[in-house]
Structure 1
Amino acid sequence: MADDACEISVLATGFGPFLSHTDNPSWEVAKAFAGALGEDFACRAERLDVSFDIAREFTRRVFSRADDARVSAPDLIVHFGLAASSKSLKFEGFAYNRRGKTSDSADAGVRKSLDGILIEEGRENYQTGVDVARLTELFAESGAPVCGLDACVSQDPGDYVCNAIYYHSLRAAAQARAHGVQTQVLFVHVPALEAVEASRLGAEVAACFRRYLAEGDARV
């Protein structure tokens, strides 16, 4: 990744509504995160539908090949998703080649049996290159001003679309390194929050990232 913050391109994603969750705070967090990183970063936010197909197609689109056959991708991708039962912000360390029994559409009321894996003969898991433990420390040092939330490192992002997009993104980033592309990927699970609280949380996570990236040994 580039050495200077002004050269760092960032893509933040959040999800839209799904199942009974008509308002998904992950999108509000992603928007606020992108807006709060500051002028030194080329950052944009994108809302994604909750779909295994969208998760797979995302990486094919983002890790595209330019005309000169080089891979074009952001320096940093931060995915945000909803963990409705969680009371903490969760920095996910791993993604797994698994797919559970869940609905595959944000607007489909029918649940489908999707037991299995995401990619035939794919690796069992991928680990992020972002120092999630350090980000957790930085969030704690900030005083966690949003609704008294704390942060933790998680090693289990579940088996739904959150895990799927994380796995596909980490896999694509690993493959892109063969072409000299050093994209780092992170997934962050957020609790159920109102829109205003979610925006405040996104801004706080952005502040943690700015401090993290300013550290000489930051793994990004």
Structure 2
Amino acid sequence: MEKQKKAVVVTGFGPFGEHSVNASWVAVQEFERLGLGNGVDLHVYEVPVEYQAVQRLIPGLWKKHRPQLTVHVGVSGMASTVTLEKCGHNVGYKGLDNCQFCPDTQCCVEGGPECLDSIIDMDVVCKRVTAAGLDVLFTVSTDAGRYLCDFTYYTSLHQSRGKSVFIHVPPLGKPYTGEQLGKAVKAIIEVILDMLEQAEDQINCDHKH
């Protein structure tokens, strides 16, 4: 019996502010070129830096693809490493988006919990990708910045019941190339898919006994 392909959705962001070329979208395109092999149904999207677009798009992607994993990549001008975000935050959104809009409530999901954590253990992911010996530094963070990145992450975690991750990349050339970032994204996703598969095998194993 052939194993059903697992759907993975990966998003990067479009241009905003001084980021006329968004390193996250460059990284995602480089990653898409490398791919994840035949066992994975990969779907890649560029997300506009707009709150209302995110609120429409993220639930739509979930309904359309029912992904095993959703991975969002964003750029951070303050980052100098590839940063694995552990959680998304619900409130504190005051920064205006590309449409000069910001939610009146300054929150993602009214009545939602203040923080939502990914079900993926980012500390383990960080250790494993660091051990893979890429020429990129990885770190872990609990603050995705209260702008579109954080907003997208929380929206996605809420939609996927925690089966989402967010990766922050530095701007291009500070210090990494698009190619290096693409390889880093690929390595992270492969580690996570492996972790999810091991967890699934464990559950199936427990059910058999």
Which bin holds the TM-score, normalised by the shorter protein?
Answer: 0.7 to 0.9
Offset from partner CA, 1:17-55 (integer Å, 9 cap, x none): 001210101001112223322222111211111011111
What is the aligned length?
Answer: 196
Alignment of 1:115-194 (within 5 A): 116-145=106-135, 149-174=136-161, 184-194=163-173
Structure 1 stretches lacking a partner, 5+ long:
66-71, 175-182
1:85–1:191 contact (8 Å) kept in structure 2: yes
> Deviation at 1:139?
2.1
In the alignment, structure 1 residue 16 sits paired with structure 2 residue 14: yes
Tell me: CA distance 1:94–1:212, structure 2 relative to 1, closer, same or farther (3 Å): closer
Deviations 1:153-206 (A, max 9, x none): 1111011010111111110112xxxxxxxx721000000114x81233222331
Which residue number in structure 2 is paired with residue 48 of structure 1? 47
CA distance in 1, matches of 2:57, 2:129: 28
**Residues 58, 129 of structure 1: alpha-carbon distance in 2 compared, 3 angstrom cutoff:** same
Correspondence for 1:100: 93
CA contact (8 A) 1:212 1:218 kept: no
The alignment yields a C-alpha RMSD, in angstroms, of: 2.7
Q: Distance in 2 between matches of 1:169 and 1:118?
A: 10
Note closer, same or farther for the CA distance 1:212–1:104 as it changes in structure 2 (3 Å cut): closer
| Gap runs ≥5 in structure 2 | 202-209
Q: TM-score, normalised by structure 1?
A: 0.78
Residue 11 of structure 2 aligns to a residue whose secondary structure is: strand
**Aligned-partner Cα distance in 2 for 1:85–1:219:** 36
Q: Which residue of 1 aligns with 2:205?
A: none
Q: Distance in 2 between matches of 1:54 and 1:167?
A: 14
Give the corresponding residue for 1:89.
Answer: 82
Specify the SS of the correspondent of 2:177.
helix
Give identity over the alignment, percent: 26
AA in 2 matched with 1:173: S
Q: Which has the higher helix share?
A: 2
TM-score normalised by length of structure 2? 0.82
Distance 1:218 1:26, change over 3 A: farther
Rounded Cα–Cα distance in structure 2 between residues aligned with 1:212 and 1:111: 34
